[in-house]
Structure 1
């Protein structure tokens, strides 16, 4: 198999590998196993679907495709397939519309073949439609010629005139470009032709694509051998099976850090996986292609970009060059994920300015570690030395300690005796351990942190209350006017009275 044909088969392996990693590293409670197990279940089904398509492709090559049609409520059957893309549409903010001419009517179809043909068209439509776009599926009856049309429209990038000429051809030899559709449409066309039907393409008004599948509406179009016998048993991977699989979705807590990461990945399953692995640590956005990512970067500020290498229209490497040569955050760290294992490509990526090059299947722990380290280094580089940079929290233990530390200081902020010894007693840690942890999480010594929080509270009271400066000094544990004024001015550059009058600290 060529690299291009083998790449899709690596994607489910990525999900399975990361889910297994997560299960092995998870502790109690058991609920933490739910989501990875769901990921694996979904990936196994996806791999089976790819394998089924490969088997059908082999049958097609050998000229052995034959249907087994049965009367089917076609609008309801197609609706089940359409609903499997609900999560993708919601995640990408794509408007998804299912518009049958009638809610119920029966047509003879081979469930497996129609499922795969329609699923392929919808998969391409959602894949190539940008965020904020629209995907519509219509089902129309034509009583004059006894046919049914299944129409899939999208507002995506469309298909070039040159490629339209060979849209349903099978690629036999030669390398397929990264933005081609591959053998999927050729297989879809063959599945519809086995129904004595046809497939056509036209450009959508306003941009995008329209694919139309036309199949017979009457059983008379099929020979006796092409009709499913009542006693036959079908074992199928169909939309109904996919639709009945309820995937566990954990409720998301707030990330431990305020930094934002942009995930650029045209495979929605992999994008969601990467998001699941890091959204405990950071806020995340997803872009389905490089163009969408570059648009997002024009209006949003990101602390890290994680991108796939092979994407339609523009590769991850080409996008990285755009970022490095542009004006919108050209120094943002970039991690690239790829199924290609190629030393020359890795060298080229690093020379382009890629910070980390990771091959799929990737290790989830390593990905999280790279994210933390790159965000840390990026935060310290973009700030001048005089500005205190926000520290990156890498796990829940750090978050719990920082929360306990802040609560301890806030609860005793008006206590003039609050000092390092007070904190060691409350938090049950040694002075050296306290100093190490506080410096790691805040960049300040414990004494500096106490002083900083006293002044922050004083600034709040000066702005929001009519209390006298002396009263405020008492409220923040600094009853001496001289000491309060001196400390406040040292930290803010203004006296308390100047700050209250509207000075900017």
Structure 2
């Protein structure tokens, strides 16, 4: 590859010449369209993503220049990309010209934005092509915290050590491909609840079917529309939040105990948790440690999973169920406060009343009276 920089008296001229297969003249205008991929690559493994040239044209156009692609005219094989940028700034509008102070302030504003925590969730993007990974990150980082990985094996380690709300992954990757990566996520109780969006080419029908069978939450074909990807992320995050709300106490736990039917990637774990809770919440000796043992996870693992799914610690989750079940019994008015306390696993009425008041803002007796009115 040869790079030449010069000027023709009116423009700064940058030319990049390679010794590859050259370009398809008939489709040369499409080279700068987003996601367009040329057909002259020697191998499918060397296909690009169709983002780089589109981005180059956008930057060049912003500066009043042009970019063009031709085949070499020196008798050798290869392509030549030429950028022409007008010298000076007379071709620009005054509003397009920034002084040094403006530039410094803009940079500082951008740095401050990057330091601000996300309000919407944390997203992992996994693609062996750094260009496409960075493109997705740049497009979504205004609303989410986005972390990119170019190796699925490194991404697995990060998932085990940190917290992510959604994973966006390519399918065709060296080392660990997207389907294997998906299987690893969905087969591990620590990560099985994380929604996964897979990206693949339209021709990879078998991969798409296999991915859906393995638990992919969404599939987008390349070239994808970034607005569609963003909408998929919003929808999946909304589903996660609704699931958390179902178990967080935002709805009455009387609907949760015995009756709740969990759907989605947390189905197996939450069914086990609810089965154990339903069978044991009346036992005063039933606590977080006992729940962890019966579910088959360590206390720390269960704590992390419950926090991810419900937004509550395991202790808070268990307490909420007992409190809401107690509230239901008090509303029915068939047994007294002491009996209610024993019915939900408290062998000390005073302690029960203290916890109940902290949860509902009134004593069990007051709550029972309000329920009768």
TM range (shorter): 0.3 to 0.5
If asked which structure has higher relative contact order (CA below 8 Å, sep 6+), I would say: 1
What TM-score results when the alignment is normalised by the length of structure 1? 0.32
